[in-house]
Chains A and B, each alone.
Chain A
Amino acid sequence: MKSKRLNTLTNGVVKSNPTFRLVLGTCPTLAVTTQALNGLAMGAAVTFVLLCSNVMISLLKKLIPDRVRIPAYVVIIATFVTVVQMVMRKWMSPLYEALGVFLPLIVVNCIILARAEAFASCNPVLDSALDGLGMGFGFTLSLTFIGMVREFLGSGSFFGIPVGSLGNVSMSIFIMPAGGFLVYGTLMALVNYLTRLAEERKIRMGSHHEKGEKEAKQ
């Protein structure tokens, strides 16, 4: 049981990473990752909304009539997004401005709706919370990573801190949409390659292990 819970948590980070494996929420991914900090903030906002909406929907799953479940989910998600927006506007004004329209657009972020529909609506509260946390964490990690690469190549800085005089030879294309696609695609290929490598190794080790067991029996 414990390992199953842990699996739910790590599922969103590695195996079903929303950005690199499920390719969900691509629009904000490409738009806000011009800087690592923006990616991190967007990820944190999505994680909060995902966690809260998953818990709420899981709690209300028996109460919400099947026919109107999507409008009900959207109302719940929109509420939490508005809370995030209000809090960010008050205390994190520069980030609020940097994320711009993509903050309210979290309402229709497909990761959140997909998790609500596919997981939270048919799983217990604790599992849904873990799923939301894992998925959100995976999203944050991916966005921050893409942002780091784009910021480093495009403006020669690391989390807003200039790296030497690298800013003078930076390649602006990486900050523009085309560069976003380039970085996203390359990183996705890399992540998929590494995941496959790890899986193959696991299978090989598994069969080796089985073979060893059989030989021992004989």
Chain B
Amino acid sequence: MRKSLGFEIFMTALVLVVIAGVAGALLGLVNHFTYISEEELFAGKATAVYSGELKKYELSGLNDEVEYSSGNILSVYVPTDPAQDTYVLVAEGEGAFKGTLRLLVNITDGAIVKIAKYEANETPGLGSKALDESYFKKFYGTTITKQFEGYAFEAQSANVSEIAAVTGATKSSTAVKNAVNAAIKWYQVRVLGGASV
């Protein structure tokens, strides 16, 4: 029995459509059970830098007037308890081994008190050394003033804090430093109201 060409094309298309339809339905079902929203993803990771409940800091023009050199602030969260002077920032730093990396930076009472990894894909055992608490600790405690110009590997002026890169993880250290500096810049402009140029 010879089938006509038209019939063959129709059957081919039908089989492909049925396969795609079944696959799509299966994926929809799995997605229903495994979906995590950005908020949930953030809440799961934010416990590393802040133990209380956080809500998104609604601010029109989040990055208006802030001039970053090699970083960016993606979003800002504040505690639901208004008595606390805490800002949790999702800061992005350029210059990482695989493009950019993202950190969570907790600024409480005008000082960086805690940093944690948010999204980073540096080489385990190499770049990952710069994403360790032992390196983040070096940024803790500095009070952010309007004059503070952030961190640099080589301090050029008195307003810059010097910090060493982790051996074997120079690029990742650079990106961490850039992300922290972006957080500092944002805090200066949007909270303190002005920054040194």
Q: Do A and B come from one complex?
A: yes
In the complex the two chains form, is A68's CB within 8 Å of B126's CB? no
The reply to whether the CB of A34 lies closer than 8 angstroms to some CB of chain B is: yes
A63–B11 alpha-carbon span in the complex (Å) = 10
The reply to whether the CB of A185 lies closer than 8 angstroms to some CB of chain B is: no
In the complex the two chains form, is A97's CB within 8 Å of B124's CB? no
In the complex the two chains form, is B12's CB within 8 Å of A67's CB? yes
The reply to whether the CB of A72 lies closer than 8 angstroms to some CB of chain B is: yes
In the complex the two chains form, is A151's CB within 8 Å of B125's CB? yes
In the complex the two chains form, is B124's CB within 8 Å of A65's CB? no
In the complex the two chains form, is B34's CB within 8 Å of A90's CB? yes
Partner of A65, one of B8, B23, B30, B35: B8
Nearest CB in chain B: distance from A19 CB, A: 20
Q: Which B residues, 104 to 132, have Cβ-Cβ distances below 8 Å to chain A?
A: 119-121, 123-126
Partner of A155, one of B27, B44, B98, B124: B124
The reply to whether the CB of A109 lies closer than 8 angstroms to some CB of chain B is: no
Nearest CB in chain B: distance from A96 CB, A: 10
In the complex the two chains form, is B19's CB within 8 Å of A72's CB? yes
The reply to whether the CB of B168 lies closer than 8 angstroms to some CB of chain A is: yes
Given contacts A65-B15, A86-B31, contact A79 B124 (CB under 8 A): no
Given contacts A35-B124, A155-B124, contact A83 B16 (CB under 8 A): no
The reply to whether the CB of A14 lies closer than 8 angstroms to some CB of chain B is: no
In the complex the two chains form, is A65's CB within 8 Å of B31's CB? no
Partner of A172, one of B16, B20, B121, B126: B126
A65–B7 alpha-carbon span in the complex (Å) = 12
Nearest CB in chain B: distance from A3 CB, A: 35
Say whether chain A's binding surface is mostly helix, strand, loop, or mixed. helix
Q: Which A residues, 53 to 102, have Cβ-Cβ distances below 8 Å to chain B?
A: 60, 63-65, 67-68, 71-72, 75-76, 78-79, 82-83, 86-87, 89-91, 93, 97-98, 100
Given contacts A86-B31, A89-B34, A90-B34, contact A175 B23 (CB under 8 A): no
The reply to whether the CB of A176 lies closer than 8 angstroms to some CB of chain B is: yes
The reply to whether the CB of A38 lies closer than 8 angstroms to some CB of chain B is: yes
When distances are taken between beta carbons in the complex, the residues of chain A under 8 Å from B16 are 68, 71-72, 75
A76–B24 alpha-carbon span in the complex (Å) = 10
Max chain A Cβ within 10 angstroms of own Cβ: one of B16, B23, B98, B125: B125
Q: Which B residues, 6 to 47, have Cβ-Cβ distances below 8 Å to chain A?
A: 8, 11-12, 15-16, 19-20, 23, 26-27, 30-31, 34-36, 44
Nearest CB in chain B: distance from A38 CB, A: 7
When distances are taken between beta carbons in the complex, the residues of chain B under 8 Å from A78 are 23
In the complex the two chains form, is B34's CB within 8 Å of A98's CB? no
When distances are taken between beta carbons in the complex, the residues of chain B under 8 Å from A72 are 15-16, 19
8 shortest interchain CB distances as A-B pairs: A155-B125, A79-B23, A90-B34, A86-B34, A65-B12, A35-B124, A175-B125, A100-B121
11 additional contacts (CB under 8 A) given A75-B19, A100-B121: A34-B126, A38-B124, A65-B11, A68-B16, A83-B26, A86-B35, A87-B30, A89-B36, A90-B35, A97-B119, A155-B125
